[in-house]
């Protein structure tokens, strides 16, 4: 859909655990130091949550970071959606704890989302829908994860922890939404059954029929709807399960290395799952200036993709 009204991002915040582990160390521990796995994935290091950190605490920190940098009126936030693959409770919402810790009002539409790595972007879009419909003056969308990987599995190189928070509104916009599309199919490339400690994945099946097929389809649909081509955008962001996939899909769609450069935070922090696309977007916003345009495409196993386009209305932190 195309956005006919002024609606977009009025604030954002991030949190990454301070602990890191280098991919070379994982290679040594797995006895695969001579296989070049880390180099192939494009991962230098990844974040590791502390013993007292979970998806809730990370989300709270991201929210606090947002409030510290942007003049948000908390009492105007009347919708909160939290996307994660690692909600601490099977039955009990993460959002209620987050809302209480952040001091949000009790008059709050709230739900936890789960759609693998695209749950965070979906949470942001749900907040956008609430604001756009007039049901909320401000909406908050959060992606937060402490991703798990079975010891010895290739996911151990990338599964990381982090959170990003976005506040959506209609005034004092940092960036406005131009359009968005979403797709979903029953493509079981990655899953975890109830009671299982670690997720399973379908190996190479997670690439072409899963990640690439969905990201390219959502991206192409939105480009066509906007009557735009890749060269019309200043920057692009694609979901980062590693650094290899976004580079490949960007090239296949016709985007350049320069457009992608600021979104590849995965190289140093790993795959933060539901927070990954949002964290990449925050880094692009940090470097963007007024008039820049950003193309974003998420991916979530199972499988689906959201594509959205934004126009930057104010200079970022580092411009």
CATH of the domain at 180: 3.40.47.10
**What pLDDT does residue 192 have?**
78
Do 50 and 159 fall within a single domain?
Answer: yes
**What pLDDT does residue 217 have?**
98
Listed range (59-63, 111-115, 284-288, 312-316) with the worst mean pLDDT = 312-316
25 lies in a domain? yes
**What pLDDT does residue 105 have?**
98
**What pLDDT does residue 35 have?**
87
Active site residues: 85, 117, 239
Residue 164 has pLDDT above 90, yes or no: yes
Do 127 and 229 fall within a single domain?
Answer: no
Of 154, 169, 184, the last residue of a domain is 169
**What pLDDT does residue 319 have?**
52
152 lies in a domain? yes
Tell me, letter by letter, the H, E, C secondary structure of the chain.
Answer: CECCCCCEEEEEEEECCCCEEEHHHHHHHCCCCCCCHHHHHCCCEEECCCCCCCHHHHHHHHHHHHHHHCCCCHHHEEEEEEECCCCCCCCCCHHHHHHHHHCCCCCCEEEEECECECHHHHHHHHHHHHHHHCCCCEEEEEEEEECCCCCCCHHHHCECEEEEEEEEECCCCCEEEEEEEEEEEEECCEECCCCCCCCEECHHHHHHHHHHHHHHHHHHHHHHHHCCCHHHCCEEEECCCCCHHHHHHHHHHCCCHHHHHHHCCHHHHCECHHHHHHHHHHHHHHHCCCCCEEEEECCECEEEEEEEEEEECCCCCCC
Residue 318 has pLDDT above 60, yes or no: no
Listed range (158-172, 187-201, 243-257) with the worst mean pLDDT = 187-201
Do 29 and 145 fall within a single domain?
Answer: yes
Above pLDDT 90, what percent of the chain?
85
Do 85 and 218 fall within a single domain?
Answer: no
């Amino acid at each position: 859909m195309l956005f006919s009204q002024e609606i977009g991002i009025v604030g954002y915040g991030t949190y990454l655990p301070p602990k890191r582990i280098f991919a070379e160390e994982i290679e040594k521990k797995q006895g695969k130091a001579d296989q070049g796995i880390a180099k192939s994935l494009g991962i230098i290091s990844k974040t590791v949550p502390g013993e007292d950190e979970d998806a809730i605490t990370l989300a709270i920190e991201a929210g606090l970071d947002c409030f510290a940098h942007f003049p948000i009126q908390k009492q105007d936030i009347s919708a909160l959606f939290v996307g994660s693959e690692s909600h601490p409770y099977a039955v009990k919402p993460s959002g209620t704890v987050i809302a209480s810790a952040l001091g949000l009002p009790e008059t709050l539409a709230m739900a936890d989302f789960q759609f693998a790595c695209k749950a965070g972007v979906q949470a942001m879009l749900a907040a956008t829908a609430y604001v756009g419909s007039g049901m909320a003056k401000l909406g908050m969308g959060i992606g937060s994860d402490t991703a798990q990987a079975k010891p010895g599995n290739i996911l151990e190189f990338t599964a990381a922890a982090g959170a990003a928070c976005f506040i959506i509104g209609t005034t004092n916009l940092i960036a406005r939404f131009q359009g968005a599309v979403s797709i979903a199919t029953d493509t079981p490339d990655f899953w975890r059954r109830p009671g299982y400690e670690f997720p399973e994945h379908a190996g190479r099946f997670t690439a072409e029929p899963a990640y690439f097929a969905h990201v390219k389809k959502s991206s192409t649909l939105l480009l066509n709807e906007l009557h735009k081509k890749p060269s019309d955008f200043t920057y692009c962001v694609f979901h980062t399960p590693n650094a290899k996939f976004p580079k490949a899909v960007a090239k296949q769609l016709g985007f350049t290395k320069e457009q992608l450069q600021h979104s590849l935070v995965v190289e140093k922090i790993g795959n933060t799952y539901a927070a990954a696309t949002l964290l990449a977007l925050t880094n692009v916003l940090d470097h963007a200036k007024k008039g820049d345009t950003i193309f974003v495409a998420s991916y979530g196993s199972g499988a689906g993709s959201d594509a959205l386009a934004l126009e930057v209305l104010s200079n970022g932190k580092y411009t």
